[in-house]
Structure 1
Amino acid sequence: MKKFRKVLDGLTTSSPAGVGGSSSCASAAGTPTAGPSPREIDVAETLTSESFQICKTVRHGFPCQPTALAFDPVQKLLAIGSRSGGVRILGRPGVDCYCQHESGAAVLQLQFLINEGALVTACADDTLHLWNLRQKRPAILHSLKFNRERITFCHLPFQSKWLYVGTERGNTHIANIESFILSGYVIMWNKAIELATKTHPGPVVHLSDSPKDEGKLLIGFESGTVVMWDLRAKKADFRIHYDEAIHSVSWHHEGKQFMCSHSDGSLTVWNLRNTARPVQVTFPHGKTQRDGRKESCKPILKVEYKMSRNSEPFVIFSGGLSYDKASRRPTLTIMHGKAITVLEMDHPIVEFMVLCDTPYPNEVQEPYAAVVLLEKDLVVVDLTQSNFPIFENPYPMDIHESPVTCTAYFADCPPDIIPVLYSIGAKHKKTGYSHKEWPVSGGTWTLGSQTYPEIILTGHADGTIKFWDATAMTLQMLYKLKTSKVFEKPKAVEGAGVPHSRLLCVVGISANLILYRFSKHDANTNITVSISMGISVFRYFEVITTPVWSDPSGHSPQPPPSPRSNTPDSARDSIPCLKVKDRTIRMPPGYQAELVVQLLWVDGEPPQPITSLDINSAYGLLALGNCNGLAVVDYIQRTVLLCMSTLELYGAADPFQRLTRSPRKSRQSTPDFCMRGLSNFYSDSKKRIRTSYQSKCCQGREGLKWRGGKEKCPDWEIIFNPSLSLIIQILHMKSIQSGIAICLLASRLLCFINQPIRIHVRNLHWAL
C-alpha cells in the first residue's frame, strides 16, 4: 500500500517546473518551485503485485454463532451479537453494519439507548462497552471492566441515565450511562433477601423497573426469589419465594402484576397486592396426571407478556414442551386468549423479543411482530394476523440454504439490468408469507464505494440460480431462476453469462446445457426435441429447442431422422440423463429457456459431465467440453458447427498413454467414447476439412517453439472474446502437442467463421 501511495504522490507532483507547472501547495503559497525531491525520484514506474493487498470490505450471510438480540423501537434497528465478539446492526434492506470487539469475547447482552444512536454491549470478559452509532463507522466511546464479579444481566430503562448490572454473586450495581462510571450505590444480595434466609439466592437473572414507578426495581434471582427494591428508601418492598428456578420475568403494562417463567415448564402470575402466593399457575404444555396434577415439562427460557387494545393479551414464550417426545424441534408458543399456537423452528432458539408500537412500558404495547433469533437463521412472525405468518426475510441470511456449487462475477453491467431483475424477482414472491412490509425498517440506504453495478450469480445444488446485487454494502437477492421448469430433476453446477446481451448459459451435473434469454413478458412455449446424430465414432448429442417465434402454419419443426443401430443394447442408447418436459410450459418474466443441449448415453455408458463452458453473443456461439472432447454450437441456427474428440485433437502426436478398458459386452475402449458429432454437416464435410487443417497444423508447429512436458492430461480452455475477431486463449500451454491440437481446432473453425482467429498463449500471439 505504501508503494501505491508513492505512485499516486508521484502522479500529482511529477509535472516539470521548467514548463510552468508547479504543485498546488507552491502555487497557493506564492513561493518558487523547488527541485525534485527524493520522494519523487524513488517512485516506481510500474506497479507490481506487492503494491496491492486484499482487505475485507463487508460481510454477507448470517452471523456465526449468535448469542444476543436487541431492538430499537423508534429507530427500527436490530442488533445481533455473536460468540466471536461481533455485533451486526440491521435496518431496512441494504442497511447493514458490522462492529467487532477487539478482545473477541462473546457478547452476552445488548441494550439500545432508544432513539439516541448508541448501544451498550456486555461481553463474556465482564466488560461493558458503549458504542456510538451516530458516526459513519461505529466506535466504542467508553468501557467499564468488572474485576471481581461476573456480569449476568443488564437493564437500561427507557430515557434513563442509569444502567443496572446484575452479577453472578447476586449483587446489583448501578452505572451512569453518560460518564460510564459505577456509582457508589450497590444492592447487595444479603440486603435484598430476608435476614433470616441464610442460603445464597443465586445469580441475578432479571432486572426491570416498575412501569408505574421508576424508583422501584424488580430483581429476579435464579433460585426462585423475586425482590421489589425501593431505590429511594434503599429497602425491599416485598419478597417472593417460589420452589422452582426463575428464567425470566415480564411486567403487565399497568404495573400491578407480572409473570414469571420457571424451570419446570410453568408460568406464574403474581399480584403486587398479595405476594404470598401466585394468582395463577399454568403448565401450557403439561398433561394432567391421574392425581390431577400437571406433569413437569422442559424449562420455559423466556416469556413476554404484552397487551393489545382490540384483542386478548399475548403470552409468548420459548421452550416448555413435555418430555414425552424426544428430538422434538425447538418451538415458540403464542398464547392469544384461549388459543395456543406452537411454531416449530428449524434450529435452536437463541433469543426472541416482541416488537411493539410504543417504547413506553406503562402504555398498551400493541405487539405487531416477534423476532426469533435462531442459531442459523432469523425469523420474524407477524402477530397481527390470526394464522401468524412469517415475514419474508430480505437479508441473505443463509446463502448456502442450498449448497453453492459455482459462482460467477460480473462488473460494470448495464445500469438498467439490476432494476429490471429486481422488479421481475419481486413478482415471484413465495406464498404463505405475510403481505406486510418488513418491520425492521431503520436506517438510510446508500450506495457503496463502487460507482459501477456489480452482479454475482450463484449456482446451487437444487438446480436454482440466484442473482445478487453486490453494488451496495450488502448482497441483495434480485432474482431466482429455477431450471426445474425444463428438466424433472436438474442440478446446476456451472454457469456463464453475457450481461450485455442478457443471455445466461447454465450447465447441469447430468451433462445438459440450458441457454436462457431474458424477457419482460410471459411466454407459453412447447419445447420440441431435435436429435442430430453423427457417425459412430462421435458421442451423441441431443439439442432441444424452444421456438421463440411460432411458425405461422402452426406446425412445430420435426427432428431429422437419426440412424440407430439394431443391437439389443441400442434401446439404452441415445437417451439423455434427464427427461425434458414435452408439454406446453408457461415461462414467467425473467430468464426463459431458449435452447437445451444434452449429451446422450452411448453403448450403455452415461455421458461425462460438462466441465468447460463459454458463450459469445456476437457470433451466436456456444462452446462446451468435457474430458472426452469439445463442441461448438450455433444457438441461433440450432446447429452444431464443430464436434471433436480428445483423440482427434492430438491424432498421431498424442503424448498421453490412453489405456483401454477391460472388454465388456457392446462396449468400446476409452478412445471410442470421445464426443460424437451433432450435425450431418460435420460428417459430410469431414474429408474436406481434414485436408485443410494438415498444412496449417504444420505451419503452426514450425512457428511455435515450446518445450515438451509430461503432463497427465491436457490443460487448455476455449474462451470466446466479444471483439471483432475470434480469440482462442490458452490458459496453460506446457507442451508442443497442445499447440498442434489448437492449430487443428482453429483450422476447423475457419471453415465456419469468415473471421480472423487469434491464439493467445500467455504473452505470445499467433494469428491464423
Structure 2
Amino acid sequence: MSRENHKSHSMWPRIINILTVKNPKPEEKLEFKELLEEDDFSATKVVCHGFPYQPTTLAYDPVQSLLAVGTRTGAIRLYGKVGIECHLLYEHDTAINQLLFMVNEGALISVSSDVVHLWNLRQQRPAVLHSLKFKKEKVTYCYVPLKSKWLYVGSKKGNTYIVNVETFEISEYIIYWNRAITTSCSTHPGSVKYIGEKPDDSNKLLIGFELGMLSLWDLKSQQTVVKIQCQLALMSVSWNFDGKTLMCSHPDGTLTTWNINKTKKPIQVKVPHGHVKNWSKTDKCQPCTIVNKVAWVQGKGSEPFIMFTGGVATDRPNRDQCFTIMQGREMTLFEMEDDIIDFTCLYGSPWPNDFEDPFAVAILLENGLAVYDLTLPNYPPYKIPYTINIHESAVTSTQFYSDCPVDLFTCLYSLGKKHKKSGISYSETEWPLKGGTWGESYKDSSLDLVITGHSDGSLRFWDATAIAFQFMFKFSTTKIFDRERVKESSEMDDEPYAIQDIILCMNSRTLVVSGAAGYVILYRFNFKETTAELSVMDVSVADQVSDTGNDCHMPMRADTDTSNILHLAKLRSGPIKQSPGFQADLICRNAQPGSDMENPGSNSILSLCYSSGFGIMAFSNIKGLIIIDTVQKHCVMSVRTVDVYALADNSQLPKTPKPGSFHVRDQSDPDSPVFSGSSHVKAGESPPPSAGLSNGSASPSTPRKMKWSYGGKRVSGKSQSNPSIETDNEDLSLRSRSSSLCSVDREGNNKETVRYLNLLETYARKGDATATASLWIGTSSGSILVIILNLPPTGVERVKQPVIISPSGTALRDKGKIISISIFDRNRRSVEAPTEYWVDEKKTSRKSAIGSHNANDLDDIHIAVICTESQIKIMKLPQQTIISKPKQLEGTSLVKTSLVFVKGKSNLPTLRLLMEGQCFPNTDDRLMKTFSWNKDGQVIFMSSPSEIQKLATIRNECLRTGSYLGSPFVVKDMPEKPSKGLIAMFRQANPEVDRKKLFGTTTERGSRVAKKVTDMGNIDTIQQSSFGVAAMMSKTKEAAIQRGEKLNELSHKVEMMNSKAIDFATSAQMIHHKYKEKHKLF
C-alpha cells in the first residue's frame, strides 16, 4: 500500500512479485520459476459493513421489502432480510438528497443536486444504468408513480420536468411555475417541495412549492384545477388514501389538513406539542420547532397514524431528536440518541388508493437506525440484525486473522452471549424486512477473525468469515484503571485509553494491547472469573546518560504509593475482579518525568511485538526501547534509541567492562546475572526487600549494574571502537556502528525513533549455521539492528534463569523509515517466532509449539523482505547479501506492507509489479491505521469512520467470495389491486391518459436543461480492458517478430552448417580417393 508523495491523495495497494533477479555474483544466484502473473490478482471490494456514513435519506419498496439509505458521500446501502446487505457507490457522485424505488421493478433512482441516476438492482452487484445531468437547474424533489415509466423532477426554480425512465431523456412536456400557480399570483412560489399523484385520479398531479402554494395540475388539460395557499412555508405533504384530503407540515410546528374541494382555509390546524401560555389573554401557542416531515397512513380497522419529526417546544433539550406517533387521542413521543435524518413507514400495499396498513416505522438517525413495531402496544423496538454499531466508539486500530481455530471461535461466541445486555425489551415479531436472496453457503470457508480497537479503550471481536461480519465478543481495557480518571477522560478529546496496537496469539490465547496513554497490557484467556491484584511494571527510558543508568522498574502492586513515579494511566487499588475471557496478567506503564506529563504524546507506544513461545514482549516509545520478560514479569532492558546501536554491534564493545550508559550499580549483588534486570514478583505479592523494596515501600529498587555477554565474556555497553563501513551497489549498508557513529546520531538525528519491532527465529549473524531467537529493530532513519535473545530452557529453568541479551553484529542501513521486515525460506514458508498452545489449566501445563515452522529444521537459506518508505529490498540470510531492489516504487511512499502466500502457485521473489488498484480516495491517518491484511491476501480498512471495507486482492479469492454474495432483487408478483366500489366507478369519468402520447418525445428545449451522461465508470472499465487487450496484442506482435528473427537466424545457421557439411564431405572424399590410389601402388 503506497501513498503518492505530494502529488496524489489516493491510497493504492500494490502487489509485488518477490522473485530473485540476476545477482552480480554467480554463486549467490537462486533459481526459482516465476508462476504468478497479472491475471492472478485483482483488487475487488468484496463487501462493506457498518452504518452508512453521513446518511441523508431513506426509501422503502413494499413489494420487494427492501430499505435503502443514501449518504452525503454518494454511497447507498440496501437492507433486506437477515444477511442481505448491499453497498452501492458511484465514484463520480455527490451527496444523495433523495432515493426512489421503482416498486417491484428492480430499479432505484438516486437524486443529487444536479444529477439523477438510475440503478439496476437485478444483478448481483447493482450498477448505474442511466444518468441525467442538469445544466442550469438544481433538482429539489422527484417522484415516480407506481407502475409508471415516467419520472417527475422538480427544480429549484419551481419548474417540473418529466423524464422517460427507459431512455432517461427529458420530455417536451414541461410544467413551468408561472403556469402552475395561475395568473392570480404574481410572486415566485419558490422551489418545488413536493410532487405526487392524486391517489384516486392519476391524471392529476399535486405540486407543492416552498412558500406554501399547492397546485393540483391536470395533465390532460395542462392547467391548474385546484389551488391551495398556506399561510406558512411548506415543509412536507402527505396524501390521505381517499384522495380528498391532505396534510401539510410547517416551520412553526403546525400541521394543517386541507380538503381539495374547500381550499379557502384548512379544515384542521394542529400544534401537537404546542401548549397555550395564557388562555385569558391570547390563543397563541409557545413556539415549536420545524416539522420536517409528516406521514399520514391508514391502517385496516384502526385509527390512522400521523407521524412526524420535530414540532416540539423550542426550549426543549435535544429537540432535533424527537419523533412523534399520533393515533386517535394517543400521542407517543420518542427521544432518540442522535439527530433524526429521515423516516419512512413500512407497509404492505403499494397502491396509493388502498389502506397502507403500516406494521413498522424505520427512523434514520445520524449514527444509527431504529425500527419500531406498530402492531404491538407501546411500539417496542426491533433488534437490528445488521452490523451497524461498529462506530459506537471510534475505531482506532484493527487486526485481521485468517484460519482461526474453531475452539477459539466457539469460546468467543459463548462469552459474547454471557455479556449481552438485557435491559431493552425488544419486539418478538419477525424482522419486517424480508427482501433479497442469499448466495451460496460458506460453511466450509476458513474462519476469519477481525479485532477492532476503539477510542474508549474497548476491544470488539467480529466473525469475518467469507462475507459475514458478525459480533462475537466485547470487553473493555479500562476496567483495571481508576474509574474517576476513566470518567474524566470520556469528557476529553485526547482519548488517553484509545487502543493503538493489537497482537493476538491464537494458539496460546494471549492478547497484547497498547493504549494511547503509554501502557501495554498482556491478557491471558481464562474460563473462570478471578479476583486478584494485578502485576504492574513502571518502566521508563532516561533522557540522558547518568550513573543511575537504566530506569527499568520492577513489578509492584496496583495499590502501591507511586508518588515519585509519574504516569498517565492510574490503576484501581486493591484486588480487581475480572470476568471470564481475556484477563489482564501484566501491565507495563511508561513512567516519565513531570515535564513529559504535559505532552501525553511522548508516552505513545510507537511499535509493539510479542512472542508467547519466547515469553518476550518488546515495545518502543519516542525515547527508546523496552524489552519485557512476560514469564518472569520483569524488565530485561530499557535503553535509549541512540544506544540501541551498541546492543546490536559487537565491534564497538570493549574487551573489559567499563562504566557506561547502561551501567547501574548493584550494591546487593555485584556479580549479578547478565542482563537479569530486576527480580520478578507474582501478582498480588510485594517485591522482596532484596529486590529493592523494603517494608512495603514502593520507591524504585536500587538499580542493578546491567551487563551483557558475548563470546563468553561480560562486557560493558559503552562503545569505544571505530568501525569500518561497508556498502554495496544497492545502497543497503552492512555497517558496524561505533560510538563515533552513535555520537553523530545524538547530535544530528536526535529525533530518531524505533518504528518497527519483530521477534523472529532466524539467522541473526552473518554466516550463522543455526537460527536463533532474535529481535529485529527498525528505526525512523532507516537503520536495521538485530539483538540476540539467549533464552533459558523451558520448564523450571525458564522461570528462574534470566534472559540474556547479546549483540549480533548485524547493523544495516537503508533509506527511509522501516515499515516491515518479513522472512521466509526457499520453500515459501513464513519464518516467525514460536508460539505456545493454550490448554486447560486443569488438564496439563502449557507446551511450546511452532507458529509457522521451526527454522532450525529447514535448510540454510532464509530470505528477508525489507520494506521502507521508499523501497523494497530482498536480502539472503545468513549471507546477508542483497538480491534485488525494485524500481517501480520511485516517487511513492509505502505506509503498509504484508507478505502474502498465494495458494496453489509457488513463486519467490523478482519484485515485479503485478497489480495496482485504488482503495480509498484520501490519506486520513485513522484510515491508514486501520488498514490490515490477512495471510490470504484479503484486506480490511475503515473506508469511513463508521464503515469497514473488505477487499480481496487475489482473483481466485475474489471469485470465491463473489459466489457468497446474495441478490437484492427477487422476482415477485404485484399484490392485487384494490377493487373499486360502484360509486367510485361512476365517479371516475375520465379514463387514464396515455402518457406516451401525452408527453411525447424529447426536444431541443429539454436537451438544453439536462443531458444524458454516459457512465464514466463503465468507460474507465472499457478503457482498462482495451488497454489490456492492446498491450497483450502488442506483446504478441513483438513476440512474433522476435520469433521470426530467430527463425531467420536459425535458417542462416542451417545453411552455413549445410555448406560446411558439403565441404567436409568433399574433403573426406578427396582424402579417401588419395589413400585409395596409394593403396593401389603398393
Report the TM-score when normalising by structure 2.
Answer: 0.54
The 3-state SS of whatever aligns with 2:416 is: helix
Among 586, 605, 621, the residue aligned to 1:596: 586
1:443 aligns with 2:461: no
Among 439, 454, 458, the residue aligned to 1:464: 458
The 3-state SS of whatever aligns with 2:356 is: coil
Counterparts of 1:660-671 in structure 2 under 5 Å? Answer: none
2:735 maps to what in 1?
706
1:499 maps to what in 2?
506
1:89 maps to what in 2?
78
Provide Cα deviations, 1:682-707, integer angstroms capped at 9, x if missing partner.
979x8998567653979x99999624
1:159 maps to what in 2?
147
Among 202, 220, 245, the residue aligned to 1:214: 202
1:617 aligns with 2:612: yes
1:280 maps to what in 2?
268
Aligned equivalents of 2:782 and 2:427: distance in 1?
Answer: 64
Among 718, 733, 758, the residue aligned to 1:719: 758
The 3-state SS of whatever aligns with 1:293 is: coil
Shift of 1:5: 12
Cα separation, partners in 2 of 1:181 and 1:628, compared to 1, 3 Å: closer
The 3-state SS of whatever aligns with 1:78 is: strand
Does the 8 A contact of 1:256 with 1:271 survive in 2? Answer: yes
Aligned equivalents of 2:780 and 2:231: distance in 1?
Answer: 79
Shift of 1:733: 7.6
Shift of 1:130: 1.9
Aligned equivalents of 1:742 and 1:49: distance in 2?
Answer: 39
1:585 maps to what in 2?
577
1:742 maps to what in 2?
787
Counterparts of 1:194-593 in structure 2 under 5 Å? Answer: 194-232=182-220, 234-289=222-277, 290-309=281-300, 312-324=303-315, 328-345=319-336, 347-384=338-375, 386-388=377-379, 390-397=381-388, 399-414=390-405, 417-418=408-409, 421-422=412-413, 424-430=415-421, 431-432=423-424, 434-436=426-428, 439-446=432-439, 452-473=446-467, 475-489=469-483, 491=497, 492-509=499-516, 512-518=519-525, 523-529=528-534, 539-542=552-555, 577-580=569-572, 582=574, 585=577, 587-588=579-580, 591-593=581-583
Aligned equivalents of 1:600 and 1:232: distance in 2?
Answer: 80
Aligned equivalents of 1:537 and 1:623: distance in 2?
Answer: 16
Aligned equivalents of 2:782 and 2:354: distance in 1?
Answer: 83
Aligned equivalents of 1:753 and 1:573: distance in 2?
Answer: 26
Provide Cα deviations, 1:208-242, integer angstroms capped at 9, x if missing partner.
22333333332222232223334455554432222
1:728 maps to what in 2?
774
Among 630, 636, 640, the residue aligned to 1:643: 636
Cα separation, partners in 2 of 1:734 and 1:80, compared to 1, 3 Å: closer
Aligned equivalents of 2:620 and 2:779: distance in 1?
Answer: 18
Does the 8 A contact of 2:72 with 2:96 survive in 1? Answer: yes
Aligned equivalents of 1:576 and 1:128: distance in 2?
Answer: 53
What letter is aligned with 1:507? S
Does the 8 A contact of 2:448 with 2:465 survive in 1? Answer: yes
Cα separation, partners in 2 of 1:619 and 1:249, compared to 1, 3 Å: same
What letter is aligned with 1:525? T
Higher RCO (C-alpha 8 Å, min separation 6): 2
1:121 aligns with 2:113: no
Shift of 1:207: 1.6
Shift of 1:717: 5.8
Q: CA RMSD in A?
A: 5.1
Aligned equivalents of 2:709 and 2:16: distance in 1?
Answer: 58
Provide Cα deviations, 1:628-650, integer angstroms capped at 9, x if missing partner.
65344344xxx336622327975
1:135 maps to what in 2?
123
Does the 8 A contact of 1:540 with 1:676 survive in 2? Answer: yes
Does the 8 A contact of 1:447 with 1:471 survive in 2? Answer: no
1:75 maps to what in 2?
64
Aligned equivalents of 2:91 and 2:517: distance in 1?
Answer: 48
Aligned equivalents of 2:557 and 2:445: distance in 1?
Answer: 40
Aligned equivalents of 1:154 and 1:532: distance in 2?
Answer: 64
Cα separation, partners in 2 of 1:736 and 1:602, compared to 1, 3 Å: closer
What letter is aligned with 1:155? Y
Aligned equivalents of 1:279 and 1:435: distance in 2?
Answer: 37
Does the 8 A contact of 2:590 with 2:603 survive in 1? Answer: no
Aligned equivalents of 1:574 and 1:731: distance in 2?
Answer: 28
Report the TM-score when normalising by structure 1.
Answer: 0.73
The 3-state SS of whatever aligns with 1:277 is: coil
Cα separation, partners in 2 of 1:350 and 1:634, compared to 1, 3 Å: closer
Shift of 1:281: 0.2
Aligned equivalents of 2:585 and 2:167: distance in 1?
Answer: 68
Counterparts of 1:39-58 in structure 2 under 5 Å? Answer: 45=34, 58=47
1:633 aligns with 2:629: yes
Shift of 1:472: 4.1
Question: Which is further off, 240-249 or 728-737?
Answer: 728-737
Aligned equivalents of 2:500 and 2:271: distance in 1?
Answer: 50
Cα separation, partners in 2 of 1:619 and 1:337, compared to 1, 3 Å: farther
Cα separation, partners in 2 of 1:402 and 1:570, compared to 1, 3 Å: closer
Cα separation, partners in 2 of 1:533 and 1:487, compared to 1, 3 Å: closer
The 3-state SS of whatever aligns with 1:361 is: coil
Shift of 1:90: 3.4
Shift of 1:497: 0.4
The 3-state SS of whatever aligns with 1:526 is: strand
Identity percentage of aligned residues:
34
Counterparts of 1:652-663 in structure 2 under 5 Å? Answer: none
Provide Cα deviations, 1:658-694, integer angstroms capped at 9, x if missing partner.
999xxxxxxxxxxxxx98553589979x899856765
Question: Which is further off, 449-458 or 193-202?
Answer: 449-458
Cα separation, partners in 2 of 1:441 and 1:537, compared to 1, 3 Å: same
Aligned equivalents of 1:149 and 1:735: distance in 2?
Answer: 55
Q: Unpaired runs of 5+ in structure 1? A: 8-42, 546-558, 661-673
How many residues matched? 682
The 3-state SS of whatever aligns with 2:97 is: strand
Cα separation, partners in 2 of 1:541 and 1:463, compared to 1, 3 Å: farther
Shift of 1:304: 0.9
Aligned equivalents of 1:688 and 1:536: distance in 2?
Answer: 9
The 3-state SS of whatever aligns with 2:735 is: coil
Q: Unpaired runs of 5+ in structure 2? A: 1-13, 18-31, 487-496, 540-547, 663-675, 682-686, 693-703, 727-733, 763-769, 805-833, 835-853, 857-861, 867-874, 880-1082
Larger radius of gyration: 2
Aligned equivalents of 2:338 and 2:101: distance in 1?
Answer: 26
Shift of 1:525: 1.9
Provide Cα deviations, 1:292-345, integer angstroms capped at 9, x if missing partner.
122443332211112334654322212323444688544323334334444344
Does the 8 A contact of 2:537 with 2:588 survive in 1? Answer: no
What letter is aligned with 1:364? F
Question: Which is further off, 471-480 or 675-684?
Answer: 675-684
Cα separation, partners in 2 of 1:506 and 1:143, compared to 1, 3 Å: closer
Shift of 1:118: 0.8
Aligned equivalents of 2:536 and 2:97: distance in 1?
Answer: 64
Cα separation, partners in 2 of 1:269 and 1:722, compared to 1, 3 Å: farther
Does the 8 A contact of 2:84 with 2:437 survive in 1? Answer: yes
Provide Cα deviations, 1:498-537, integer angstroms capped at 9, x if missing partner.
1233332223455554443446x5x332224568999996
